[in-house]
Each structure stands twice: as structure tokens, then as C-alpha cells.
Amino acid sequence: MNVSEAIRARRSVRKYKAAQIPDEDIKTILEAAMCAPSACNTRPWEFVVLRSDEAKQKALDIHPYAKHLAAASIGILVCGRPDLQEGIASGFFPQDCGAAIENILLQCTELGYGSCWCGIYPGEERTPKFKEAFGLTSTPVALIVVGVPDEEPAMRGFYDETRVKVL
């Protein structure tokens, strides 16, 4: 699968089969995340893999739109580290984490896994709850649900010429 195919094949999957993801695939997914561009190459992120039922339940108790995590193999908390950015890079951690998240989604697609991006930051309610539940000093930006898909959602993205301005 090439990048163009992965972009067009990616879907937000919310139904999963019971299956484990091998450690080497998790490492490949996280390596893809860490290959994302970031402001001045500050790499202002860290990742928390939620594999145990207990860890997944903590996230389920906080995030009202991540109920599909219960059946998924893992969750990945993508967390921002604004403390790693200063000067002209300061404040860009949300965009940088967004780039890492998209790499996660595309790598999951290429490996045959389903995934779903569940936002956390800048939610004033969920952000502090995730920090407390998982003992984080970083800022939780998103919860990515990953697993073996048990559905094939239709493509929802499309090219819309009305949203393009050529000057």
C-alpha cells in the first residue's frame, strides 16, 4: 500500500474484533508517530499505550465518545510536551501532535488495523481528568483507539473544489 492508497483507505473504525496487536506492530506505529514533523524538530510529544483492561477502563470512564475502546486492542494517548518548546517553536505542540496522530492513523491503515481519533485537548473537562487518571505531567491531546476492524465504514472524505482558492 502506498501513501496515496493509505490516505484514501483510512477510516474511523468503531467496531473491533477481539485480538491482540503484536509488540513489533505497536513499535512500528509509535515510530511512525515520532517521524512526524514538529516545530524546530522539538518533538513535543510522548505516548501512553493503554493495553490492560484497567487502563482502558480508566479512559472509558473519562471519554464519552470512546466507548469503542472497550472492544479494541489498545488505546494510544498522544500527549503534548509544551515544556520542550521555546522561542519560535513555542506553542506549536497541538499541531505537532496532530501530525504525529495522522502518522499513527496512516500506519495503522497500512498494517491492516482500524483506528479512531478521539479528541481530548483543549477540552477543559477531559484534559485534567486524563492527567489525573494516568499521572501525566504532559498534556493529553488525543486518544487513538486501535484494533482489528470488525466493520468497513464507507469513505466520507472527498475533494470539494469550492474549498479551494487558487491565486
Average pLDDT over residues 129-158: 96
Which CATH number do you get for residue 142? 3.40.109.10
Is 71 a domain residue?
A: yes
Residue 161 maps to a domain: no
Name the nearest CA neighbour of 137 among 127, 145, 122.
127
In a domain? residue 31: yes
Task: Work out how many domains the chain is built from and give that number.
Answer: 1
- Residue 51 placed within a domain: yes
User: What pLDDT band is residue 123 in, cutting at 50, 70 and 90?
Assistant: confident
Residue 162 lies in a domain: no
pLDDT averaged over the chain? 97
Q: Is pLDDT of 150 > 90? A: yes
Cell numbers placing 158: 472527498
Beta strands in the chain (DSSP E): 16-17, 45-50, 74-80, 114-119, 139-149
Residue span of the structural domain in which 130 resides: 3-149
